[in-house]
Structure 1
Amino acid sequence: MALAVGLMSGTSLDGVDAALVDIQGSGLETKLQLIEFTSYPLGNDIVEKIKEVLSIENSSVDKICSLNVELGYVFSEAVKAVCAKANVSLEQLTFVASHGQTIYHLPVPRFNQISSTLQIGESSVIAEETKTTVVSDFRTRDMAVKGQGAPIVPYSEFVLYRDADRTRLLQNIGGIGNVTVIPKGAQMTELLAFDTGPGNMIIDELCQYFYQQPYDKNGVYAAGGKVHLDLLDELMEHPFIKRTYPKTTGREDFGVEYTTALIEKWKQKIEPDDLIATATQFTARSIAENVRPFANEQTDLIIGGGGSYNPTLVQMIRNELPELTVLVQEDIGYSSEAKEAIAMTVLANQTLNHLPSNVPSATGAEKPVILGKITYYH
């Protein structure tokens, strides 16, 4: 038995997902069982610090420098929390896989910049605090071979979800939406994966602005509103939606600045719940527009991430794609919450076995490469 903890802190800033797994084998022979999961709260103070360094206007190198180490301690506490919940000692762990907190992702160069990405959460701190080998910083190696560094999870999805008889579209809805396309009976080279557009990001910002709530729990606000069709048409004109893959996006396109401009233009014209309903429909429609070319009657769309717990959003997706079987992770025996944290353990396991785990057909990379950096504990 090889015990590992996968850590994921995404764009939604709703906590550090920590998945304790038993992982065996490597490559297509990887076998994995989820033992325990917890979402460790970031705390308001840390969330505000992350938002500061995400903001071009408020960020600074000293804030990023300090937060990098501080998040290392936060991630370490998430490891300890999930192990304690499972009654597993840190000494029993083989490794920790930490995605880190994305501060900026720049797959398409601007001005005199080059393609790059930055995830923070110091692995040296995690290694010392947990007394465990840590694998981290998975995205940069893919970008070193001309990939976009995203999506990061398709390899794990191919290993865990491929099916001989049905095409599977694995749609994650975190802050951003992303999909992995696994044709029936697919080989690795046939995988496609890309970001579909906004996930919960705009919805969350609207809920925070109008109701001081971090998100639309159970989709209640969206269910109480009406979709404003003119606004929806305007939102769907965003150039990212129709951009061809490989493509990736983030707060740079759909974050605070985007939502603030949306609020300023429309808050006097339509009710808050109508704005939230329309933003929710925007997420659903942008997903539908992007996955429809891959769909037929032998296709499952399997939704994971925080958005899978928003029944209003899930129903909107079903309405947009009546030709598909639309499921959530729990329908097939997996955990929506734990999916990306589990994926980190699969990537790290490949790294420790000296095996590649990027998917060039998804990221645009020139070749398969071994992802991540290893921080050994001694």
Structure 2
Amino acid sequence: MSLFIGLMSGTSADGMDAALVECLPHQPARLIHAIGLDYEPAFSNQLRELAITAQASVEELALLDRAIAKISVQAVNQLLAEAGKQPADICAIGSHGHTLRHKALRQQKLEEGFSWQVGDPSWIAEHSGICCIADFRRRDIAAGGQGAPLVPAFHQECLSDSASPRMVLNIGGIANLTVLGEQLAGFDCGPGNALMDEWCQLQWQQPQDFNGERAATGAVIPALLEQWQQQGEIHTYLQQPPPKSTGRELFNLDHLAINTGNHHEGHYHPEDVLATLSQLTANTIADAVRRFGHADGDILVCGGGVHNPDLMQRIRAALPGHTIDSSAVAGIDPDWMEAMAFAWLAYRTLNQLPGNAPKVTGAQGFRILGGIYPA
């Protein structure tokens, strides 16, 4: 058998992606079918709040672990039904789970690094009838790595056949950049959609700025943009060389002191603040490319940000020497890249092959990732 399922619940906390992928030796992974399940708004809000505040009881966390697992099984069942497959047709599920907190290594203090994902893999295996592979990040961390990002190894496997310099930019809740080549590099380069989405939820009770329409009507506020880019911890992170990874604990509105209350941003038009947040995302991406990426060549974009024309226009304007397109031009649907990656990582684990890229994560060497939970 060669079919694997990848499950991904990303930093945006808006839903669960499931991808059915064919993985064969010495061949690129091939997408067979994919679906996305949207979370209920209250559940999304709960996940987003926990990612920032980390305030929850043990019982609440245990129930959340189960809730993500149940949604995972629902996604698997729907995917199988639409693809006309049975559990017996699938080798394994690669479940990323949902990240509640990612705290990367700092100053080589091994004991400080951890990454915590919920989504009980025993429940997934039991109720899907399919072997589940999960907990991909902690072995890399145990080996001295960041535990993230893991997807650059998949990018290298599937997208490194270009004759010209090539990079992959994933714009999810957090943006991460993969620099393909003999010296593979990859790292979280700053906020993706997270800050813009949070502002839309706060101002208009909308999950996101659909098609970037609201930001396109706003005007960037230069003083505010400069203030955010120079904010202490954020500035330190942006200037830090790879390997590096981050999450919502750093990039959130409270950290930027944005609020609808008595903060000084209150007199700005909401659309102008949104446009400034969009420009912040574009600037941090462009700065990462200029400092650590190829000087020219192609940038393939995946993740939800590829569907935001305002953001894409800002990135293109900031990087005029690069050709910036959806990863679809290279044959991979931008909406399913990460779910495909975790199907591929499950294939690697089941075949006793390493799944990390030490030069990306900073681990002491290649490691087989994840725990195997038989059906």
TM over 0.5: yes
Pair 301,146 (structure 1): closer, same or farther in 2 beyond 3 Å: same
Between the aligned partners of 2:149 and 2:260, the Cα distance in structure 1 is 29
Between the aligned partners of 2:298 and 2:101, the Cα distance in structure 1 is 32
RMSD: 1.9
User: Is the contact made by 1:40 and 1:81 (CA closer than 8 Å) also made in structure 2?
Assistant: no
Aligned to 2:300: 302
Equivalent residue letter for 1:329: S
Equivalent residue letter for 1:86: A
Between the aligned partners of 2:374 and 2:201, the Cα distance in structure 1 is 40
Stretches of structure 1 that go unaligned for 5 or more consecutive residues are none
1:37-76 equivalences under 5 Å are 37-56=34-53, 58-76=55-73
Aligned to 2:215: 222
Deviation at residue 52 of structure 1 after TM alignment:
4.8
Equivalent residue letter for 1:99: H
Between the aligned partners of 2:172 and 2:90, the Cα distance in structure 1 is 28
Q: 2:330 aligns with which of 329, 332, 336?
A: 332
Between the aligned partners of 2:165 and 2:260, the Cα distance in structure 1 is 39
Equivalent residue letter for 1:251: R
1:192-203 equivalences under 5 Å are 192-203=185-196
Pair 273,49 (structure 1): closer, same or farther in 2 beyond 3 Å: closer
Deviations 1:101-156, CA, capped at 9 Å, x for gaps: 00111113599962111111000111011100111111000000100111111111
The more displaced of 325-334 and 207-216 is 325-334
Deviation at residue 157 of structure 1 after TM alignment:
0.6
Aligned to 2:279: 281
Q: Secondary structure at the match of 1:251?
A: coil
User: Is the contact made by 2:228 and 2:256 (CA closer than 8 Å) also made in structure 1?
Assistant: no
User: Is the contact made by 2:156 and 2:180 (CA closer than 8 Å) also made in structure 1?
Assistant: yes
Between the aligned partners of 2:253 and 2:5, the Cα distance in structure 1 is 31
User: Is the contact made by 2:4 and 2:344 (CA closer than 8 Å) also made in structure 1?
Assistant: no
Equivalent residue letter for 2:8: M
Aligned to 1:106: 103
Stretches of structure 2 that go unaligned for 5 or more consecutive residues are none
Aligned to 2:152: 154
Pair 204,260 (structure 1): closer, same or farther in 2 beyond 3 Å: farther
Aligned to 2:245: 248
Q: 1:83 aligns with which of 80, 83, 87?
A: 80
User: Is the contact made by 2:258 and 2:265 (CA closer than 8 Å) also made in structure 1?
Assistant: no
Between the aligned partners of 1:64 and 1:211, the Cα distance in structure 2 is 29
Deviation at residue 62 of structure 1 after TM alignment:
1.7
Deviation at residue 332 of structure 1 after TM alignment:
2.3
TM-score (norm 2): 0.93
Pair 87,256 (structure 1): closer, same or farther in 2 beyond 3 Å: farther
Q: Secondary structure at the match of 2:224?
A: helix
Percent of aligned pairs with the same amino acid: 36
User: Is the contact made by 1:123 and 1:375 (CA closer than 8 Å) also made in structure 2?
Assistant: yes
Q: Secondary structure at the match of 1:101?
A: strand
Aligned to 2:352: 354
User: Is the contact made by 1:306 and 1:337 (CA closer than 8 Å) also made in structure 2?
Assistant: yes
Equivalent residue letter for 2:359: S
TM-score (norm 1): 0.93
